[in-house]
Amino acid sequence: MTNTATGLNDLDRRSFMTYLSVLGIGGTGLWQRARQEGSVTKDMIAQAEGVFGLEFTDEERELMVRNLNRNITSYEALRTHDIPNSVPPAIVFDPVLPSMKLPTEEREFRYTRPTGVSRPANLEELAFEPVTVLSELVRTKQVASTELTRMYLDRLKRHGPTLECVITLTEERALRQARQADAEIALGKYRGPLHGIPWGAKDLLTVREYRTTWGAKPYETQQLDDNATVVERLDDAGAVLVAKLTLGALAQGDVWYGGRTRNPWNLEQGSSGSSAGPASATVAGLVGFSIGSETLGSIVSPATRCGASALRPTFGRVSRHGAMALSWTMDKLGPLCRSVEDCALVLHAIHGADGKDPTARDVPFNWDPEIELSQLRIGYLKSVFDEEPSEQQRESRAADFLALDVLRNLGAELIPFELPDDLPIGAMRIILSAEAGTAFNDLTLSGRDDELVRQGPGGWPNSFRTARMIPAVEYIQANRLRTIAMGALESRFAGIDVFVAPTRGGQTLLLTNLTGHPTVVVPSGFRENGTPMSISFVGKLFGEADALAVAKAFQDATGLHRRKPERFV
């Protein structure tokens, strides 16, 4: 009998499925049958060729049989070892090409201290203030850290269930840290602008004594005896961790094992993903700032949906030790805040090598909040701005053009800029797919991927299984093309410091995540339905200061980041 969907008769189909199971696809029964039948055959190879886009002769298949069976023995040996998610591969990605020269001069860190700030009669009025304001109130002892901490904890308890943005409150730890901050500040031991400021962590960061669930049912009770480097560095800066916030399960989307995180501007919408909780909680005034992660849009997307000011730093700028691994060559950690300068304050506290993440490196971050735009060479992604927008894009594209007008009015001379257009950028996405499938290999082989909420074609279970069919050769070829893309984009940056782009315009998001370039996202306007839109500023490698400076100038001129979702005011 022939299966019309696949063109395989039942015998061929069984042979094909047996081969897939030997590769790790399918259930225990198929795996056992493969072992019972003894070996891979020429017929199995012939059936599998179509999956990989290959075609061999019968003589070539005959030669392959012995080696493939030898490979299966190797696969079985590898699977006898439990490899924790925290163990990286021995191959390390570096976005810095040999010809690049990175900055070495480190200048004194300067930031804006607002004048004339005073304590309001109702402390909750501070819930939406940026860190620059909160820190000045704490530094001048007008507001105690314990007061801010209790206020944010109360808001998390009241509004967290509505937004479905909180996994674990770290109340005991937070109050202990806040009391310590108050005691130190009283003695004149002020650590800096994050001292005493409450913040929230995406729940893929380990915090000793608390669960780290990765937003996924199979890990709901997981407790890892470690602190992520960013947690330790924020502890050192005196910041107060008040909550572990939601993420889409295993860093995909906004659906987690407890529900769907909501957009504070429209509760009918999810907050997008996967830094869903950090974006939602920050914009709703439940934390002073938050830390999220991005592999392919997981900071940029929820920041856009919720209206946060956010930074995805250069790959290697911030240590990922203690963070769930999804893609070792693409994962990045960064802040989601209520202002651009807040992002600079947080990056200053968390960046640099730690001796634990082999990709993290020490490169100076010299933030200058007063730099003139005329001192920077600013490009704009001309071909995307010139595209005829779809009906769904009309509102956001109008806001994009207004952003360019704002920058010109501020004295910026905008230079036409284009991304490399002769490379198969979309095809390189298999790098993420292959690495994610590897990161959760044990979940797939154990069958516990069935416990994840999303089970459709785009869900992780299907993606992880599909990833096992990506040939190692093609994964390496994609990474070789990635090197070419890195060089091509670097050459385009020769004439500019920063470029402005519609947030979802062209291949910007995928390409810059592959090359490791930093991106700042800020609100660019609001649709008729009241939901935010964003514009993106992309910097050179380790050029966050310039990208943040342009974004800050735009933000200061528009004030769009000061709007608040009415339901949570």
Phi and psi torsions of 159, nearest 5°:
-105, -20
**Residues annotated catalytic, as ranges:** 202, 271, 298
Nearest to 411 by CA among 557, 286, 266: 557
Q: How far apart are CA 148 and CA 119, in angstroms?
A: 11
Beta bridge partner(s), residue 535? 502, 522
- Which residue, among 103, 112, 106, 568, has the nearest Cα to 340 in the 3D structure? 112
CA distance 299 to 326: 14
For residue 156 the two structure tokens come to 């998390």
Contact in structure between 453 and 403 (CB atoms under 8 Å): no
Q: What is the rounded end-to-end Cα distance, in angstroms, of the chain?
A: 65
Full DSSP string of 279-322: HHHHHTTSSSEEEEEESSSTTHHHHHHHT-EEEEPPTTSB--TT
| Separation between Cα atoms, residue 147 and residue 155, nearest integer Å | 12
Residue type, 37: E
- Helix, strand or coil, per DSSP, at residue 48: helix
Beta strands 414-417 and 378-381 are parallel
Neighbours of 453 (CB within 10 A): 18
The two structure tokens encoding residue 125: 């009025």
Q: Is the peptide bond before 293 cis (omega within 30 degrees of 0)?
A: no
- What are phi and psi for residue 291, nearest 5 degrees? -115, 130
Q: Which amino acid is at 195?
A: H
Report whether 335 contacts 349 (CB < 8 A): no
Taking the C-alpha atoms of residue 308 and residue 149, their distance in angstroms, rounded to an integer, is: 21
